Amino acid sequence: MAENTVTKKDLAKAVAEKHDTTHMEAGDIVKSIFAQIIEELASGNRLELRDFGVFEPRVKKGRKARNPRTGETVYTEDSVAVRFKTGKKMGEAVQRCLENL
């Protein structure tokens, strides 16, 4: 389904062209935004970006599992995963894209 992969470098280039700035400055801004998102999530904060989506750290409880190679029972520890729910505008845009395929 995904035809192209877009990297941070590509995002920075697009921002630089759109806002008439250098690729270096735009790259620093993009990196800074991603770093701040990571910092907020690592602090346990919910991050809501209107029309884009919501990032929320969630604790996944440890569980009893089985090692498929040995059959031995093992216990996993609690872990944190980031849940992402798309915003309305993004969801609609992606849906339109799928309808055009």
* CA-based R_g, the chain, Å: 19
Domain with CATH 4.10.520.10 in the chain: 47-101
3-20 pLDDT, tens digit each? 789 999 999 999 999 999
CATH of 47-101 among 4.10.520.10, 3.40.718.10, 3.30.420.40, 3.30.1330.120: 4.10.520.10
Q: Where are the alpha helices (DSSP H) in the chain?
A: 8-18, 23-42, 88-99
39-57 pLDDT, tens digit each? 999 999 999 999 999 999 9
Q: How far apart are CA 47 and CA 33, in angstroms?
A: 12
Residue 1's pLDDT band, with cuts at 50, 70 and 90, is: low
Phi, psi of 21 (to 5 degrees): -135, 175
43-94 pLDDT, tens digit each? 999 999 999 999 999 999 999 999 999 999 999 999 999 999 999 999 999 9
